[in-house]
Structure 1
């Protein structure tokens, strides 16, 4: 088997530890002056690509890719500090059409063709919109096999075996390269980028492009009508015994 050419798409999102707030216009979540970081599921993807190389699987190159505002280069440098060989940044300014999952999948297809990638590892979803659609759409556009929500990945020659958790147990799927894998939280624990690797990452190549370079039709097909916070949860009620619980459930109309 020739070496794997792994593409790892990553996204800059509001940090998972920050509580999102709806903006005053109720059109989106407030992003100004809010801490951002790499999407947690994408950290798993970078980590797994690097671990494949460490497990002596033939890996020719690991390319980290992101489409987003200029500050997205920060997470690309983080990915390279974790072990990616180089990065590609498609700069999307505020005035540009904001990418939706289908637009991202179309863009990734062009990148896969350009980079001649034969394995794409990406997070199962991003924690900002939780769409969980991009990997599946990309597999459809490329007509490649896919394995979603991976909790274990094994590569033997041209065959990839992926284990994932399902209701009541685990499911194992097997496919031939090229293919798409989306990552779940149990797959691994991402490493911290060490200071020496952070310094080395500054010298790794980072290519900047625009949507025009890919001649992509990224016009939005969805329109957000209104964004509101969920209603506060009501407090629980304590009951003395089972009879009391049944009476309360009947009172609430649950029985």
Structure 2
């Protein structure tokens, strides 16, 4: 039976992977994900992408979370902003000095996906409230978890309700609304605890997630049907 699982309270897009993002009132979703989301990344000379971890695809680059990015009405190339929120006219030169790496540049996605896994991350207010209770000494903010959608859930919704959505489809009520197919959750790394503007280092958050939920948090989804997402849209699970 179809049920409403929540209302979209905030929408986030991160035009440059691993930097702070921009809040939106409405956004188009295409087959790839939110239009422009993580379309660019900081790439090193070996082709690895700036991230909070080291893997075959990613290279840990501390400091990226102190920067932010936005597209606004421009979808061809993002603006990179310094730690004070000022647009950078020459991002590559700044990045090389800021990261102290001569081989980095701002690069558009080509043959290697910039997503860690699936394209759209959804996080509920019920789960965020649990994190606040589990790590009371930390400043808990959704920006630590980098969701695309923060979903306001009804009172009494249990934490990690996202786990029950896997294998189901989420739809908004709008005729032009996007449809998402939920698959699994994100495995969290040290980036969750890293300092960023307004948020100090908070290792207790990852410790709480490890103890309670195997370091996993959110629901990741693929795009089943392109469309639009808007603040205030309710999402129904099918």
Same fold flag (TM > 0.5): no
Pick 1 or 2: higher relative contact order, CA cutoff 8 A, min separation 6.
2
Instruction: Tell me which protein shows more helix as a share of its residues.
Output: 1
TM-score, normalised with respect to structure 2: 0.24
Instruction: Tell me which protein shows more strand as a share of its residues.
Output: 2
TM-score, normalised with respect to structure 1: 0.23
Q: Which has the larger radius of gyration?
A: 1
